Amino acid sequence: MSHLSHQALVTRFASFAGLSIAANMGVQHQMILRYDGAYSPIVALAMGTLAGLMLKYTLDKRYIFRYETRHAGHDALTFFAYASMGIVTTAIFWTAEILGGYVTSGEMGRYAGGTLGLITGYVTKYFLDKRFVFSKKQLVRF
């Protein structure tokens, strides 16, 4: 397995984070347009989070950490560990997005806060994933 240079890793990671942020915010926006219920912002936030999580896992596993799972069960457990590392970083993201909307009383402020929260969360999550998910020191043994 060849290793990426630091610059290539940072560029690739930032690109994937950007794609995941776009997927997250895009799904949120589409949900807001299509669902106008009492909890529409929360539903949109949850659906966007799920879309971004699934895309980022796929890209990180293959192109950042170059990690190969042995079978579908191993992949499911690896995804579970990956998602578990995201609990704290998701709290950062959701808090930043909610505060952004509260401070500006608007949708653009919410999206700006969410984007800043996602950037902060993704950087934090990279180090958690490197140490606990895609390493020999995994939280869950397979």
**pLDDT given for residue 38 in this prediction:** 87
85: DSSP letter: H
* pLDDT above 70 (res 132): yes
3-state helix, strand, coil in the chain (%, to 5): 80, 0, 20
* pLDDT above 80 (res 141): no
Q: For residues 2-26, give the mean pLDDT.
A: 88
C-alpha closest to that of 111 among 119, 100, 122: 100
**pLDDT given for residue 114 in this prediction:** 87
pTM of the entire predicted model? 0.78
State pLDDT tens for residues 27-66. Answer: 999 999 998 888 998 999 999 999 999 999 999 999 999 9
Buried b (16+ CB within 10 A) or exposed e, 66-104: ebeeeeeeebebbbebbeebbeebbebbbebbbbbbeee
Residue 140 confidence class, pLDDT cut points 50, 70, 90: low
**pLDDT given for residue 88 in this prediction:** 84
Residues 6+ apart with CB under 8 A from 59: 16, 19, 20
**pLDDT given for residue 87 in this prediction:** 87
